[in-house]
Copies of this chain bind each other. A is one copy, B any other.
Amino acid sequence: MIEVEVKVRAPHTEVEGRLEELGAVRVADKTQKDTYFAAPHRDFAQTDEALRVRHEDGEAYMTYKGPKLDEETKTREEHETQVGDAEEARSIFESLGFEEFGTVKKQRTVYEFDGATVTLDDVEGLGEFVEVELEAEGDAETEGARKSILKTLESLDLDPDDSVRDSYLELLHAD
C-alpha cells in the first residue's frame, strides 16, 4: 500500500464550509506534539528520512519515515507503532545517540470525503494547511489516486499550485 498525499497551505474556514456542504464526515479532532530526532550515523536532511515520537491526546506513537519515492507527492515508506511510555521511548533513542532536533505542535481535524482523507492542520508557528490523502496499490492505481486527489482539491476550491512538499519540521526550520 502506498499513501498518495497532497498538502496545500489554505485557511480552514472556507474549506470546512465546503466540506460540510458536500456532506463530508468529520471523524477526528486531535492535539499532536511531535518530537523529531537527528541520527548519530547519518544526516536525515540528506537521506530524506525522519524519526518521530508523537504525543496525541494522552497516547504516544513512534514513527519512521523513509525517503520520498517520487518528485510530485509525499509518497514514502512508513513504520509506526503505539508506545506505552513516550518518555521511555525518547530515552531509548537518546541513549542510542539520537538527539532531539525539533518539535511540531498542531491541532488536527480529520474528514472522510469521497473515499479520501482530508486533514486540516493548524500548526503552531506556521498556520493552516489542508492535506488530501488516498491509499493506492500499483502504478495504475497510484496515477488514478493522483487524479482523484486533484478533483477533490478542485471541489474544495483549493489550488494544487499552492501545494507544499516540505514537512512542517522543514518549514519551521526554513524560517
List A residues at the B interface (Cβ < 8 Å): 39-42, 49, 51, 62-64, 66, 77, 79-86, 88-89, 91-92, 95-97
If A40-B41, A41-B41 touch, whether A66 touches B95 (CB-CB below 8 Å) is yes
Instruction: From B39, B63, B79, B84, give the contact of A81 (CB < 8 A).
Output: B84
State the copy count for this chain: 2
Distance in angstroms from A63 CB to nearest chain B CB is 8
Is the pair B79, A88 in contact by a Cβ cutoff of 8 Å? yes
Given contacts A41-B97, A62-B92, A81-B84, 19 further A-B contacts (CB under 8 A): A39-B96, A41-B41, A51-B92, A51-B96, A62-B83, A62-B89, A64-B91, A64-B92, A64-B95, A66-B95, A77-B95, A79-B88, A79-B91, A79-B92, A80-B88, A81-B83, A81-B89, A82-B84, A83-B83
